[in-house]
Amino acid sequence: MQELIDSVFYPAFSNPLLDQRHDSSVVDLSGLRLALTTDAFVVSPLFFPGGDIGKLSVCGTVNDLAMSGAKPYFLTASFILEEGLAKSALKAVVSSMRKAADEAGISIVTGDTKVVDKGKGDGLFISTTGVGLVAPSLSIQPRNVEPGDAIIISGDIGRHGIAILSVREGLSFEQALDSDCASLNSLVEHILEESKDVHCMRDLTRGGLAAAVNEIARDAMVGIEIDETAIPVVEPVRGACELLGLNPLYVANEGRMIAFIKRESADKIVAACKNHPLGYGAALIGRVTASHPGTVLLNNGIGVSTVLDLLSGEQLPRIC
């Protein structure tokens, strides 16, 4: 996917705003600093423990805005419905979107609907655009990341991916596992009130923590080191990953973020996160270095460092 984006989309659309390669683009318009983002949601199944495609679409879009330091205001929502989708399912999704929007303090202000033939749509696809405002003094983007920065994570990883798998594959665990799907804008506000020493933020989505740190390492051309034993993983996620031969670092999340922060301010920001309901599991997990720019190293408990690469394609359970 990254190769497709690099070889087809970026060259075709290249401009100084797009080329910053952040989750949303911040544009100066008539004295306002607008943040714009767009996303599409194709998750299957439509409903999963802890959420649904509707909640995901609102939270995911809000998070992309929040990662630029923007206060989210408005969303658009366009729906592609597969013929035969039950009205009750659509109503449930839409109601969930309204609830998520109210919780995030945003409004869905325009939309569109299309219907495709049965077999052409996997139930329901949702596409969104989000608009927010960024404070004049704020610049939060990959190119601000510098050697010496600390890396913080807001909580434990892997819940969303395992929750999805549990429904898709019919796995049931002793302890029910909900997706971590959540809007992170209030946590981001809380962090920025504590300190302005935040250089970059990124929410963890498909591809997990590994994808997020690799993207920043590449976009900022810095080296990153992650301490494996510092990464919080709850027991049910660990157990599911062991069972299926998955690495939690690559499992999807939808309500977690990482922040790259001036080292001196890292400890107080972790403490501040822990005072917020969405940041109670916050932890310091690594650092930025000038060495091996573009590459992420994982320091494990045995004192060995290995390269934490991007995966080619989806992570798949191994045969035996």
Q: Which residues bind another protein (CB under 8 A)?
A: 3, 169, 225, 227, 235, 238-239, 242, 244, 247, 287, 289, 291-292, 295, 297, 299-307, 309, 312-314, 316-320
- If the CB atoms of residues 27 and 171 are measured against another protein, the closer one turns out to be 171
- If the CB atoms of residues 18 and 316 are measured against another protein, the closer one turns out to be 316
- If the CB atoms of residues 29 and 307 are measured against another protein, the closer one turns out to be 307
- If the CB atoms of residues 103 and 227 are measured against another protein, the closer one turns out to be 227
Closest separation in Å from C-beta 129 to another protein: 28
Picking from 186, 206, 185, the residue whose alpha carbon sits closest to that of residue 68 is 185
Closest separation in Å from C-beta 311 to another protein: 8
Closest separation in Å from C-beta 288 to another protein: 10
- If the CB atoms of residues 20 and 299 are measured against another protein, the closer one turns out to be 299
- If the CB atoms of residues 275 and 306 are measured against another protein, the closer one turns out to be 306
Closest separation in Å from C-beta 260 to another protein: 16
Closest separation in Å from C-beta 252 to another protein: 16
- If the CB atoms of residues 7 and 107 are measured against another protein, the closer one turns out to be 7
Closest separation in Å from C-beta 287 to another protein: 7
Closest separation in Å from C-beta 319 to another protein: 5
- If the CB atoms of residues 178 and 227 are measured against another protein, the closer one turns out to be 227
* Interatomic CA distance for residues 172 and 77, integer angstroms: 33
What one-character-per-residue DSSP string does the chain give? -HHHIIIIIHHHH--TTGGG--SSEEEEETTEEEEEEEEEE--SSSEETTEEHHHHHHHHHHHHHHTTTPEEEEEEEEEEEETT--HHHHHHHHHHHHHHHHHHT-EEEEEEEEEE-TTSSSSEEEEEEEEEE--TT---SGGG--TT-EEEE-S---HHHHHHHHHHTT---SS---------HHHHHHHHHH-S-EEEEEEE-TTHHHHHHHHHHHHHT-EEEEEGGGS---HHHHHHHHHHT--GGGS--SSEEEEEE-HHHHHHHHHHHHTSTT-TT-EEEEEEESSSTT-EEEE-TTS-EEE-PPPSS-------
* Interatomic CA distance for residues 289 and 263, integer angstroms: 12
Closest separation in Å from C-beta 303 to another protein: 7
